[in-house]
Amino acid sequence: MSAPASTPVPAPSRPPVIPLVSTPRVSGDDELAEGDAAFARGDMTQARAIYAAARASAPTSAGALVGLARVQIASAGVPLDYASAKGNREIVRACAQLSSVVKTAPSFGPAYVELGRGRLLLGDAPAALAALTLGARLLPSEPEAHSQLGVALLATGQSAKAVAELARAVELDPDSSARHGNLGTALFMVGRTKEALAEYEVRVGMDATDAKAHSDLGTALLATVDLERASSELRRAVELEPGRATFHSNLGYALQQAGRFDAAIDEYREALRLDAGLVSAWVNLATVLARDPKRRAEARGALEHARSIAPEDPRVKANLEELDAMTPHSAR
């Protein structure tokens, strides 16, 4: 009987909240434009100060209020993933402020874009979709509005429309490597792997030092069973960002599929050293170990550890059942 099946590197199970690639200006006012520029370069302290000064001189300024809310969301310290900030008080307060802005300035597009982003982080996809639909309508030439709308559409199961919005963002901002990567991710999520590869190739070509670009390309190549190229891209991701556990785990999977089991084990162990909670790495480590009857107890230990982290994960249950089937009861 063969060893338990490894669990594949999946397409993302939920849409990411695509970070700001370019920052829609909150106002045509030169002072607020300076705040936007500070925000775009990541200087939240200066951005907040500029927006606060603008609000002090004009308390009802929609631009100043949106700028302050934007900084508050960006400074909350949460991953930019869908539903990563459920209940986060800072983002809840920012969304409340933005909701007030859209009521008093219903034609101010940036408020809807920021409100939509905040609600995506809170996991409220329908409310995010409503806000971002209006934002994209009010800012039809703003690529960021279309990007965030695409994420909201993915989160609500409207994949075809999501791809169209992210493609529109690329049309409006073709020189952005991140836009191509975002479209590639959406295409990959809906199973359009060949088209996703094309976008990922563009992204890598535009920014060869972007570790995530190489990782995304390598993961998509795994879906085409091009193991040599996949391994090369995933190894490059590890070289560029060796501290990312998922990069090591994905490289391990590529090596495992290529029959390089010892090298795969090394990558899985490094992934788990970096992140002991990475369930897929525990599962795939177990599948490699289980190939050797003498190491099946070690494989079981890896799966039991995975079960302690994610007791309802079907991958863990299935692999434990397969391991039970090949292991005499007295040896368990």
Question: Residues 46, 181: contact at Cβ < 8 Å?
Answer: no
Strand partners, 81: 16
Token pair in block for residue 66: 């949106």
Q: Do residues 169 and 141 touch, judged by C-beta distance below 8 A? A: no
Q: How far apart are CA 173 and CA 170, in angstroms?
A: 5
CB 295 within 8 A of CB 332: no
Say how many C-beta atoms besides its own lie within 10 A of residue 21's C-beta. Answer: 17
- Predicted confidence at residue 16, as pLDDT, reads 67
Residue 1 binned pLDDT confidence (cut-offs 50, 70, 90):
very low
How far is residue 181's CA from residue 212's CA, in Å, rounded to a whole number?
9
Q: Is residue 328 part of a domain?
A: no
In a domain, 190, yes or no: no
CA–CA gap between residue 214 and residue 222 (Å, rounded): 12
pLDDT of 270 over the 90 cut: yes
Judge whether 122 lies within some domain.
yes
Residues 245, 250, 252, 253, Cα dihedral to 10°:
150
Residue 310 has pLDDT above 90, yes or no: yes
Specify the pTM: 0.83
Domain CATH number, residue 135? 1.25.40.10
pLDDT digit string, tens, across residues 24-63: 666 556 678 899 999 989 999 999 999 999 999 999 999 9
For the chain, report the end-to-end CA distance as a whole number of angstroms. Answer: 16
As for how many domains the chain has, the answer is 1
pLDDT value of position 80: 80
Sequence-separated (6 or more) residues with CB below 8 Å from residue 260: none
- Structural domain for 154, as ranges: 22-158
In a domain, 131, yes or no: yes
pLDDT mean over 4-13 = 62
Quick one: average pLDDT of 100-121? 95
pLDDT value of residue 192? 93
Helix (H, G, I), strand (E, B) or coil at 16: strand
CA dihedral of 244, 250, 254, 255, whole degrees rounded to 10: 50
Of 231, 300, 298, whose CA–CA distance to 267 is shortest? 231
Q: Round to whole Å and give the CA distance between 78 and 119.
A: 13
Helix (H, G, I), strand (E, B) or coil at 127: helix
Q: What is the pLDDT of residue 63?
A: 92
pLDDT band at residue 8 under the 50/70/90 scheme: low
Rounded to the nearest integer, the mean pLDDT of the chain is 90
The mean-pLDDT minimum among 11-20, 88-97, 254-263 falls in 11-20
Per-residue confidence (pLDDT) for residue 113, from 0 to 100 = 94
pLDDT for 272-296, tens place per residue?
999 999 999 999 999 999 999 999 9
Domain presence at residue 99: yes
Domain-located, residue 330 = no
Q: 328: how many CB neighbours lie within 10 A of its CB?
A: 7
- pLDDT tens for 69-87 read 999 999 998 888 888 899 9
Other beta carbons within 10 Å of 260: 17
Give the H/E segment covering residue 43.
none
Residue 227 to residues 43, 219, 252, Cα–Cα distance (Å): 41, 10, 11
Residue 232 has pLDDT above 90, yes or no: yes
Per the model's pLDDT, the better-predicted residue between 61 and 331 turns out to be: 61
CB 27 within 8 A of CB 33: yes
pLDDT score at 79: 82
- Asked if the model's pLDDT at residue 214 lies above 60, the reply is yes
User: What is the arithmetic mean of pLDDT over 164-174?
Assistant: 96
Predicted confidence band of residue 316 (pLDDT cuts 50, 70, 90): very high
Question: For the residues 166-194, what does the mean pLDDT come to?
Answer: 92
251 assigned to some structural domain? no
Q: Is residue 297 part of a domain?
A: no
Q: Has residue 248 got a pLDDT over 70?
A: yes
